[in-house]
Amino acid sequence: MLTQGELNELLTVVTPRLDEARLGVHVIASRQRIDAITPPAVWPVVASRVLSHANDNSWLPDLMDAFEAEPLTAPQILDACRRCREQWARSLRAAEPLAPAGRRERALVLFNKAPFIDRAPARPLVDEAVRLVGRRVLVVRGREAVGKSYIGNFVRHLVNGMPGAKMALVCLDELDAERVQPRDLMEALATSMGLQPDPGWDQMAQDARQADKLARWLVGKLNAAAGTGPRWVIVIDEIDHPKVAPGAIDLVNRLLRAAARGELVDTSLVAIALPGEVPPGVAADVMEQELAPLTNAEVRSHIADLALALGVALAPDELDALAAFALEGLQFPLDRGAMDTVRDRIGKLPEQILQASA
């Protein structure tokens, strides 16, 4: 994670130069919308928020990729991207020795204010899928507000530590469509992977036919790039959202089947909130994880881990006080609003822990 001074240096160079086209490259990941950030006078403000969000959530390198891939990016911004990458690398090197067992992914989890993404039961399965060391498909389930979407953040942390790997994230509830159809899903996925959507995709075909053709299209693209392209980790989230049409769910299942069979070359797939059963025939090749609601013990464990990573040994009463701060006024099981509240509070804990040890 960049220091505030380093981030300010980047903001100074980039924010006055961002226009709508460049902002559109990463606007989805920031949970912003182009039609919500007009007039143009506010673009630098939104750009600052996007950069800060990217920094805090560990996808700043992806953002730099987007800038560098944009042919109209000015030399001044390209130079800022280079310096940003150098600063990011220095931050990682500084954080890694503080992580338990020196594990980079653990350092990223703790130093990027994402307290719920390192859920212990799911960690080995996520790691297996992301690193392509075994089964390549992970289905994550669980009721509302158990932290399913944070698995996507954990995946991003792992991918950032893997040379030659890239992550493609599609949150179906965020797509600009009243009803998410197969083509909407594939357009979002293709854009995230830097692929040009095919204008010849048949919008008039029935759902099953369209889903089949779109899945075959992606298989063909990845096969054509075999050995020359990156290793892809695809994450599709909010599959059970009410606005997701059955045809789009069918497409997810076809991609799941293709990934499980190895037809999506050098690619793994994490499907979050998949409704229904895994497609028949590939169940043995698919990992499934049911996330339980977050517990008081997990919050306390995270606070203790965070203190350890910061080199601070908390006394029992200090741990009690920090846990009380994180959970004040909340009741388990936590609902969505409470999860957001706890995350915001834990984001403030590093400074409080360091102050307590001073």
pLDDT tens digits, 132-155: 778 899 999 988 888 787 788 778
Give pTM, 2 decimals. 0.72
18's CB contacts (< 8 A; 6+ apart) are: 43, 44, 47
The pLDDT assigned to 94 comes to 66
User: Does residue 106 have a pLDDT over 60?
Assistant: no
User: Does residue 72 have a pLDDT over 60?
Assistant: yes
Helix (H, G, I), strand (E, B) or coil at 194: coil
User: Does residue 77 have a pLDDT over 80?
Assistant: yes
Q: Shortest CA distance to 117 belongs to which of 128, 131, 106? A: 106
CA distances from 67 to 75, 151, 352 (A): 11, 26, 35
User: Does residue 122 have a pLDDT over 50?
Assistant: yes
E strand residue ranges, the chain:
137-141, 165-171, 231-237, 267-272, 286-290
Q: What is the DSSP string of 282-315?
A: -GGGEEEEEPPPP-HHHHHHHHHHHHHHTT----
Q: What is the pLDDT of residues 182-219, one digit of tens each?
A: 999 999 999 889 898 877 776 666 778 899 999 999 99
Q: Shortest CA distance to 167 belongs to which of 316, 336, 29? A: 29
Q: What is the pLDDT of residues 246-286, one digit of tens each?
A: 999 999 999 999 999 999 999 999 999 999 999 988 999 99
The pLDDT assigned to 247 comes to 95
Average pLDDT value over all residues in the chain: 81
Higher pLDDT, 327 or 54: 327
pLDDT-above-90 percentage for the chain: 31
pLDDT tier at 29, thresholds 50, 70, 90 = very low
Distance CA 109, CA 158 (A): 9
Distance CA 169, CA 132 (A): 17
The pLDDT assigned to 131 comes to 80
pLDDT-above-70 percentage for the chain: 80
The pLDDT assigned to 101 comes to 56
Distance CA 172, CA 166 (A): 19
CA dihedral (254, 256, 257, 262) positive or negative: positive
pLDDT tier at 114, thresholds 50, 70, 90 = very low
Q: What is the pLDDT of residues 291-348, one digit of tens each?
A: 888 888 888 888 887 787 677 888 999 999 999 999 999 999 989 899 888 878 877 7
The pLDDT assigned to 97 comes to 61
User: Does residue 24 have a pLDDT over 70?
Assistant: no
Q: What is the pLDDT of residues 306-317, one digit of tens each?
A: 787 677 888 999
Distance CA 232, CA 194 (A): 11
